Amino acid sequence: MSLTSPTPIDTANEQALQRIYTARPYLVAVRPAREFLPQLGADTILHAGPPVAWEAMCGPMQGAILGAVQYEGWAADLQSAQAFVESGRIRLQPCHSLSAVGPMTGVITPSMPLMVVENREHGNRAYCTLNEGLGKVLRFGANDASVLERLRWLQQTVAPALHTALQRLGGIDLRVMMAQALSMGDEMHQRNVAGTALLGQALLPHLVRTVPAPEPLGAIAEYLTGNAQFFLNVAMAAAKVIMDTAVGLSGCTLVTAMARNGTEFGIRLSALGERWFTAPAPMPQGLYFPGFSASDANPDMGDSAIVETLGLGAFAMSASPAVAQFLGVGGWAEARRYTEEMLEITAGRHPHLLLLTFDDLGVPCGIDVRKVVETAIVPWINTGIAHRQAGIGQIGAGVVQAPLECFVQALDAFATAYL
């Protein structure tokens, strides 16, 4: 059987696409990580991207880990947190290893509240942290007292309120909400204005009937409405629960995850299960906030590229001319080119996530590693740019290209396994 013989591979890929297309993600709960993830050891911290040892982690990820150790009460200050980690007493493993995803450093600990997205078609679940908001935040490696206090407020006040509202609602149909947001100019990676507003519309009438006013209801309402990227984490969990339905299909050459830990970029291939194929994390190209430049930037980081893996983000750039401007890649005509290019390397078009200003086509969905290697066209990813030092935060936004090397490795491994 030659690599170009289409039948068994295309059949497997078509099966994967059908699962992706029919998945029905619902936001159903917001609960502490340990509750839905009993496999999460009491001594474990999850991080974004493929596996990475403490010593190889970038500054922001180390900063986030040290904050997380203090948040869990495993150490009382930064210095003892560092000693704790270096003593080898915690296990570090990728979020993806437990059906979870996290933006930027992506750090998840057992006490941290996670949004739970359930796929009502296939029964699997995926998880993502709550968006911390802007400013000094753990996901960019900040770890001072104000950061930890904010995390505890999310845990103790916000998470139970959102959970109760979701129980009243019976869950939120994210496929419908994401299709709506896409039709309203969100590509759901760097722009989540519509998704955030729609989610607030859905939750607030229930929150106001279950949370005492004026406080903490007022602060929760501000939190939900004041950060236009709130929906990113929701879209990430939805994309993860959808793409996980395609993991481990024999003979399938579709990519099921792309993720970065700030040091390495990694992908997973359906047929090869949980194995990662990695290359050095690339540097984003984009626009910097005043006072920052490319020399301040960390290599690309975060599990958020799961939205591109589904066909959103840069793949859906044509839905979002405002994002194209924000990322410095031009206006709508330029935005269309990103989507057109991604059509070259994908096996399908998602039938529910439609691009109304692009011939009503679905977003390019199902990255076929064969097409990437054959064309040398690699996935585009819309990305926030983090400062390379812990805790400074976002310094810009732009686009990044997945390293071709990951795809070449993955196809080689596929050929070894199947041909």
Site residues (vs a second copy, CB under 8 A): 180, 183-185, 193-194, 196-198, 200-202, 204-205, 208-214, 217-218, 221-222, 225-226, 321-322, 331-332, 356-357, 359-360
| CB of 203 closer than 8 Å to CB of 224 | yes
Nearest approach in angstroms of CB 153 to a second copy is 16
- As beta bridge partners, residue 257 has 268
Which CB atom, from 105 or from 339, has the smaller least distance to a second copy? 339
Tell me, what amino acid is at 200?
Answer: G
Residue 155 beta carbon to a second copy: minimum distance, rounded to whole angstroms: 21
Cβ of residue 88: shortest distance to a second copy, in angstroms? 46
Shorter beta-carbon distance to a second copy: residue 76 or 356: 356
Query: Closer CB to a second copy, residue 37 or residue 353?
Result: 353
Determine if residue 104 is left, alpha or beta; phi over 0 gives left, psi from -120 to 50 gives alpha, anything else beta. left
Question: Which of 204, 404 has the CB closer to a second copy?
Answer: 204
Residue in 136, 132, 129, 364 with CA at minimum distance from that of residue 236: 129
The residue among 376, 373, 407, 133 whose CA lies nearest residue 255 is 407
Nearest residue (CB) to a second copy, 353 versus 402: 353
Q: Which residues pair with 288 in a beta bridge?
A: 396
Element (H, E) at 6: none
Minimum CB separation of residue 319 from a second copy in Å reads 9
C-beta closer to a second copy: residue 123 or 214? 214
CA gap 352, 24 in Å, rounded: 11
For residue 328, the minimal CB distance to a second copy (Å) is 15
Burial class (CB in 10 A: 0-12, 13-18, 19+), 100: buried
C-beta of 361: minimal distance to a second copy in Å? 11
On the CB side of 360, how many CA atoms lie within 13 Å of its CA?
A: 0
